[in-house]
């Protein structure tokens, strides 16, 4: 008779664990007594108690050793939204996620927690207090969003109590915090090049920005509540700071905190969006001859000039979620963590 050893419930794997969110998640899991394997195409740090497995998640044979004796997998790997490479997004977010699911089933993993995105319902127009039952975007704003939609569907459809794999998706929005490689660095780069003088639209559009530790908290609650009899199986959950803020107030707080001037002059939304669209078309047409990446992409202008904030009541009810760090404290901790990006540094 063969006895199947039940993997320890405190052993988990984090796919994408070298990334911004992934590393914060790994650190919190260690604090909570989990032993952690990281699977990533790169190793960005070392930590006692963390086993790194380097490889591409599209390669099942490379993934399987990282899932050995693991009961819980977090999948938070994705190419960066800015890469704009359709083939790469399809390969990693869609085909790769299929392989992650197959590997979980083969390795006897019991729970899979996906980092999805609240953007899966965003089409570039206002979303106010959006709930999880909003339909997926029919016209996603970019390839990143298009493939995040397919990825989420794949993971949620894979939830199968009979087969023994339970799944859940966390949809964060606008993650920020120490070591974020995108939001603050892009913002500071724009400020240093004199591009942060303008407010797109009237500046009153509300947006969710979510401190990274709140996102981590949502992931861990979901993982710990994911059981065959729980209502969360196969469902998506918005995780935000639950404090929608004016997009331009948030940008100003970060900029002023780092010693730069806040944007002051208003530009009409339709004008900037039209210009961004023209620039994007020009970049596309001229791609064979010259390569340039405009700062103002239609996607960024849409993100900067519309309302997009989400209701996280479902996470509060089903997961017992409540943000653990306020927006004000999150901004202060973020600003402090970037001394090298301060004005004059």
Ligand X SMILES: NC(=O)C1=CN([C@@H]2O[C@H](COP(=O)(O)OP(=O)(O)OC[C@H]3O[C@@H](n4cnc5c(N)ncnc54)[C@H](O)[C@@H]3O)[C@@H](O)[C@H]2O)C=CC1
Ligand Y SMILES: CC(C)CCC[C@@H](C)[C@H]1CC[C@H]2C3=C(CC[C@]12C)[C@@]1(C)CCC(=O)C[C@@H]1CC3
Active site residues: 144
Judge whether 12 and 34 are in contact, CB under 8 Å.
Answer: yes
Judge whether 183 and 125 are in contact, CB under 8 Å.
Answer: no
Q: Which segment (3-11, 40-48, 189-197, 243-251) binds ligand X by CB under 6 A?
A: 40-48
Asked whether position 41 contacts ligand X by CB under 6 A, the answer is yes
Among 32, 68, 128, 195, binds ligand Y (CB under 6 A): 195
99 interface partner picked from ligand X, ligand Y, none, CB below 5 to 8 A per type = none
Least CB distance from residue 281 to ligand Y, whole Å?
Answer: 17
For residue 83, give Cα distances in angstroms to 87, 182, 322, 327.
Answer: 11, 12, 33, 28
Name the CA dihedral angle for 135, 137, 138, 143, rounded to a multiple of 10 degrees. -150
Asked whether position 57 contacts ligand X by CB under 6 A, the answer is yes
Least CB distance from residue 285 to ligand X, whole Å?
Answer: 29
Identify the three-state secondary structure at position 75.
strand
181 interface partner picked from ligand X, ligand Y, none, CB below 5 to 8 A per type = ligand X
Helix (H) or strand (E) holding 229, with range, is none
Distance between CA 226 and CA 223 in Å, rounded? 5
Residues 6+ apart with CB under 8 A from 326: 241, 243
41 interface partner picked from ligand Y, ligand X, none, CB below 5 to 8 A per type = ligand X
Judge whether 159 and 234 are in contact, CB under 8 Å.
Answer: yes
Judge whether 218 and 211 are in contact, CB under 8 Å.
Answer: no
Asked whether position 21 contacts ligand X by CB under 6 A, the answer is yes
Among 5, 33, 42, 61, binds ligand X (CB under 6 A): 42
Judge whether 131 and 316 are in contact, CB under 8 Å.
Answer: no
Asked whether position 16 contacts ligand X by CB under 6 A, the answer is yes
Asked whether position 190 contacts ligand Y by CB under 6 A, the answer is yes
Asked whether position 263 contacts ligand X by CB under 6 A, the answer is no
Helix (H) or strand (E) holding 13, with range, is strand 8-15
Least CB distance from residue 300 to ligand Y, whole Å?
Answer: 4
261: number of Cβ within 10 Å: 12
Least CB distance from residue 174 to ligand X, whole Å?
Answer: 5
Q: What is the DSSP letter of 165?
A: B
Asked whether position 296 contacts ligand Y by CB under 6 A, the answer is yes
Asked whether position 181 contacts ligand X by CB under 6 A, the answer is yes
Q: Which residues are near ligand Y by CB under 6 A?
A: 173-174, 183, 186-187, 190, 195-196, 198, 200, 207, 209, 295-296, 300-301, 303-304
Q: Which residues are near ligand X by CB under 6 A?
A: 16, 18-22, 40-42, 56-58, 76-80, 92, 96, 115, 117, 148, 172, 174-175, 181
């Amino acid at each position: 008779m063969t006895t199947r050893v039940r993997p320890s419930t405190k052993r988990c794997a984090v796919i994408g664990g070298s990334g911004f969110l992934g590393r914060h998640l790994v650190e919190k899991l260690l604090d909570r007594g989990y032993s952690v394997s990281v699977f990533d195409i790169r190793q960005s740090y070392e930590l006692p108690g963390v086993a790194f497995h380097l490889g591409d998640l599209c390669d099942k044979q490379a993934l399987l050793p990282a899932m050995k004796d693991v009961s819980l997998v977090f999948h938070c790997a994705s190419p960066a939204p800015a890469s704009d490479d359709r083939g790469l997004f399809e390969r990693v977010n869609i085909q790769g996620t299929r392989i992650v699911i197959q590997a979980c089933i083969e390795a006897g993993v019991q729970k899979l927690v996906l980092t999805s995105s609240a953007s899966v319902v965003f089409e570039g127009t206002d979303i106010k207090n959006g709930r999880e039952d909003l339909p997926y975007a029919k016209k996603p704003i970019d390839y990143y969003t298009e493939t995040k939609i397919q990825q989420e569907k794949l993971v949620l459809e894979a939830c199968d109590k009979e087969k023994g794999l339970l799944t859940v998706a966390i949809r964060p929005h606008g993650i920020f915090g120490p070591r974020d490689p995108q939001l603050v660095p892009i913002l500071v780069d724009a400020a240093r090049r004199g591009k942060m003088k303008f407010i797109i639209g009237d500046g009153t559009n509300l947006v969710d920005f979510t401190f990274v530790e709140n996102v981590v908290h949502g992931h861990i609650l979901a993982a710990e509540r994911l059981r065959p009899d729980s209502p969360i199986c196969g469902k998506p959950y918005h995780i935000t700071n639950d404090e929608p803020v004016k997009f331009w107030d948030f940008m100003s707080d970060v900029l002023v905190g780092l010693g730069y001037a806040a944007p002051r002059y208003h530009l009409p939304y339709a004008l900037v969006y039209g210009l961004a669209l023209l620039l994007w078309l020009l970049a596309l047409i001229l791609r064979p001859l010259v390569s340039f990446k405009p700062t103002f992409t239609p996607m960024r202008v849409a993100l900067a000039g519309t309302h997009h904030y989400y209701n996280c009541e479902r996470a509060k009810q089903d997961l017992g979620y409540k943000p653990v760090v306020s927006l004000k404290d999150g901004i202060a901790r973020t600003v402090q963590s970037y001394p090298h990006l301060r004005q004059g540094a």
